Structure 1
Amino acid sequence: MDLYQNIFELIDMRSFSNLWFWIALAVLWSTASHWVLGVPFDMVARARRYGGQAEQDLEDMVRINTNRLLFIANVSGLWLLGLGCFLLTGLGVLGFFYRLEIAQALFLLGLPMSLVGLLSLSTARLIYQTEPTGEALRRRLIRHRLYVQMIGVISIFITALWGMYQNLAIGPLGG
């Protein structure tokens, strides 16, 4: 029985008291701020520093990923929006009405990431319409990354507050 007890402690469904949830939250936002429109941010820094082929590689990667995002949005954007709203609403109701902590945790991960997705789509449309190159493209990507980081900081703050509330005020037995 000791093995089962250890396994269930490791994958505890009480998300906010579980170290794995906080590690996943940190990895999620670290990854989201590193990959700007599907382009690793070190390519932006390399293009600024070296120019030439690094600049051309950045412009090609941004063009490819922008076209990919816009194609997906044009072909199945409404279906994805409906599915996303359905899932977030379901998680919100399960989490905050029925007090299912795993649903609260997934909602607090999913809602801000959906905002990042909408921001990425908006930035992709701006890049597609204006076709910036060089410094203008790098500024647009840096601004996008800054907005993603701002959403991430606010999200982590709200999630930490809610997690502390869950752990301190409500307690392990739910109330």
Structure 2
Amino acid sequence: MELYQTIVELIDMRSFSNLWFWIMLCVQWWMVSHRILGVPFDMVLRARRKGGQAQEDLETLARVNVNRLLYITHMSGLWIVGFVAFVLTVLGVAGFGYRIEFAQAVFCLMFPLTAVWGLSLWAAHRIADGEHRGEALQARLIKLRLAVQAIGMVSILITSIYGMYQNMTISVLN
């Protein structure tokens, strides 16, 4: 019985009071802000400092990832948008309409990623339209990273405030 109790506590559905949720939130935003359009940010910094082969590597990797993102978007973009809208609607209704905390937590994780996806798609179009070489590519990737980090900071702030509110409300009710 003790093993079962440990597992239930480890996978607690009260997400905002669970340490794993907060670890997941931090890891998510670290990963999203480290790889901008699939390009590790240290490659951007290395290309900016050294140029030459590092810049060529950056341009090649950015070109491959931009072309891949644009191909996927052009081939099935409407299906992806429809599916993501459906999932977010289900999570929003289940979480905030029916007060299911797990759905609220997943919504808080996924909703800001849609803004990041939109910004990434916009930047991919800009890169494909001409900002795909040299300092223009570096500047576009740096601006995109700053925007992603700003979205991440606001998302973490709002999620933590809402999570504290949820935890205080539940503790008062019990």
In structure 1, the partner of 2:166 is 166
Alpha carbons of structure 1 residues 115 and 149: separation in structure 2 relative to 1, 3 Å: same
Range moving further from structure 2, 130-139 or 27-36: 130-139
Unaligned 5+ runs, structure 1: none
CA-CA distance at 1:131 after TM superposition: 3.5
Alpha carbons of structure 1 residues 94 and 159: separation in structure 2 relative to 1, 3 Å: same
Aligned partners of 2:131 and 2:140 also within 8 Å: no
Matched AA of 2:131: E
Matched AA of 2:5: Q
User: Normalising by structure 2, what TM-score?
Assistant: 0.97
In structure 1, the partner of 2:69 is 69
Report SS of the residue matched to 1:86.
Answer: helix
In structure 2, the partner of 1:84 is 84
In 2: Cα distance, 1:65 partner to 1:151 partner: 22
Is 2:50 the partner of 1:50?
yes
In 1: Cα distance, 2:121 partner to 2:133 partner: 18
- Identical residues among aligned pairs (%): 60
In 2: Cα distance, 1:9 partner to 1:118 partner: 36
For the aligned residue pairs, the C-alpha RMSD in angstroms reads 1.2
Matched AA of 1:159: T
Instruction: Give CA deviations for 1:43-70 in whole Å, capped at 9, x if unaligned.
Output: 0011011110000000000101000000
In 2: Cα distance, 1:106 partner to 1:135 partner: 38
In structure 2, the partner of 1:102 is 102
In 1: Cα distance, 2:19 partner to 2:62 partner: 35
Report SS of the residue matched to 1:88.
Answer: helix
In structure 2, the partner of 1:37 is 37
User: Normalising by structure 1, what TM-score?
Assistant: 0.97
In 2: Cα distance, 1:114 partner to 1:129 partner: 23
CA-CA distance at 1:172 after TM superposition: 7.9
Aligned partners of 2:91 and 2:106 also within 8 Å: yes
In 2: Cα distance, 1:70 partner to 1:172 partner: 49
CA-CA distance at 1:141 after TM superposition: 0.2
Report how many residues are paired.
174
In 1: Cα distance, 2:47 partner to 2:56 partner: 8
In 2: Cα distance, 1:171 partner to 1:74 partner: 48
In structure 1, the partner of 2:122 is 122
